[in-house]
Amino acid sequence: MQASDTIVAVSTPPGRGGIGIIRLSGPQALELAGKLLRRPNFEPEPNRVSLRVLRDPGTGEELERALVTYFQAPRSFTGEDVIEFSCHGSPVLLLQIVDALLRLGARAAEPGEFTLRALANGKLNLSQAEAIRDLIEARTTAAARQAARQMGGELSARLQPFKETLLEIIVPLESSLEFVEDDLPNVEIERLSARLSDLIRMVDELAATFRAGRLLKDGLKATLVGRPNVGKSSIFNALLKQDRAIVTDLPGTTRDALSEVINLEGIPVLLTDTAGVRESADAIERIGIERTRRAISDADLLLVVVDGSEPLTAEDQELISEVAESPHLIVANKCDLGSFSLQRLLQVVTDGVEVIAVSARTGQGLEDLRKAVLRSCSAPENSIEGLLLTNARHYDLLRRASDSLKASRKLLEESASEELVLVGLYDALRYLGQITGETTPEDVLTQIFSTFCIGK
């Protein structure tokens, strides 16, 4: 990616809309905009919107009447001169205008290139840039709030004391290495070891928030399984609060896995309804059952549905045994029927497995089921409170930093040479720097920004 040229892209989502925005950034942004407007000395007032006529640079034909905004360097998103054209949201029209700017000398922006230039020009750090992507991709209010907090620099602020403490530990070790022939006194080693222990604890505490943060960002996969006609599809529809799956009294109605995302207290849950598990001579039903078994292996949580109005069958017990090693709940449906007996069911279900009594027909117990899904996956009760790690890259770097710090602490307590102790400390400092982009290799940056949408 060359920061010396001028890039252009549509910054609004694909498809028709009321407004489409084209973004132009780089040293020739003003010049190219002036050519498109047929105004060679175009010098608009920064941060003011004006209505302008955009014309084809070859024929002079009017293309659009657009709102044009000029953001003067360095007071712009990218830190360069930026022009934004707010046009009618016709994909054909937007493509015409972008093509005109390309003919004038602009280059089509690569994914995330505007944000990458903002990073290169010091307008934000890497963790803030990644938070922009996460905010765009957020599927729940809680995920959007976490992304907004990180975009505002909260993660960077949280990491800064870690780096400062680490440097305060490194300095006396470097001084001892350079200027003192004798070993560090025991009291100094104990002091540095204690500071290292405190730092390790803080790093580990932040890393431990990743599980909850991952749930907020990526959600969890909860799959309904069970033999035919126990009410899986009815529970699926009841949790979705819409008739998404076909429900009949005929066993084997569901032939294929059906998935929808629901929001449980800010946690996106990919809920999957599956074909009933049983022996079948029907070729199509057997394919559905095979897909059910694949869905079982992919799930974070299995909701094993049984008919609570009758004793467990051999098929029920076989399925419960099959999923015993996976996180699962027993969902006893039809609890509104007079023959339902939770106590009888509890006597035959594996110890320690939670049993939730529900009625898909009346809605009884569904709120308990929602809470059990969150509880079983260790979702935090205060999901939207406090800073949570949501990025697997950040988590991996924190774990590496923690391991390096622990290795250095062990060497320090064993009275190893300062050179050996410092290796792990500098590694930890480098890992922390990679989170905010201070020490991130170029190939890693390329990989990160390739996941952004074009125009951002």
In this predicted model, what pLDDT tens digit does every residue of 272-296 receive, in sequence order?
Answer: 887 665 454 455 545 555 666 666 7
Is the pLDDT confidence value at 77 over 80?
Answer: yes
Supply the pLDDT for residue 289: 55
Structure tokens at 93: 């029209």
pLDDT beyond 50 at 247: no
pLDDT higher than threshold 90 for residue 49: yes
pLDDT recorded at residue 1: 47
- The yes-or-no verdict on residue 133 having pLDDT over 70 is yes
The confidence score (pLDDT) of residue 351 equals 63
Tell me: the pLDDT tens digits for 258-277? 878 888 877 788 888 876 65
Q: How many Cβ atoms sit within 10 Å of the Cβ of residue 386?
A: 12
Residue 296 contacts residue 223 (beta carbons within 8 Å): yes
Higher pLDDT, 400 or 238: 400
* Residue boundaries of the structural domains of the chain: 7-125, 131-209+389-437, 216-376
From residue 165, give the alpha-carbon distance in Å to each of 60, 207, 249: 62, 17, 66
Greater confidence, 311 or 297? 311
Residue with tokens 């060497």, as numbered in its chain: 411
Q: Which amino acid is at 421?
A: V
> How much is the pLDDT for 281?
46
Mean pLDDT within 21-49: 91
CB 20 within 8 A of CB 93: yes
pLDDT tops 80 at residue 183? no
pTM of the model: 0.76
| Strand ordering across the sheet containing 107-108 | 49-55, 62-71, 82-89, 17-25, 7-10, 107-108
Q: Identify the architecture of domain 7-125 in CATH.
A: 2-Layer Sandwich (3.30)
Q: What is the pLDDT of residue 381?
A: 47
- Render 258-300 in DSSP notation, one character per residue: EEEEEEETTEEEEEEE-PPPS----HHHHHHHHHHHHHHHH-S
% of the chain exceeding 90 in pLDDT: 41
Fold category of 131-209+389-437 in CATH: Four Helix Bundle (Hemerythrin (Met), subunit A) (1.20.120)
Distance CA 89, CA 99 (A): 16
Classify domain 216-376 at the CATH topology level: Rossmann fold (3.40.50)
| Rounded average pLDDT over 192-201 | 94
Question: Angle between the 232-240 and 366-376 helix axes, to the nearest 10 degrees?
Answer: 90
How does residue 156 score in pLDDT terms, banded at 50, 70 and 90? very high
Percent above pLDDT 70 for the chain: 85
pLDDT in tens, 54-69: 999 889 899 999 999 9
pLDDT score recorded for residue 348: 55
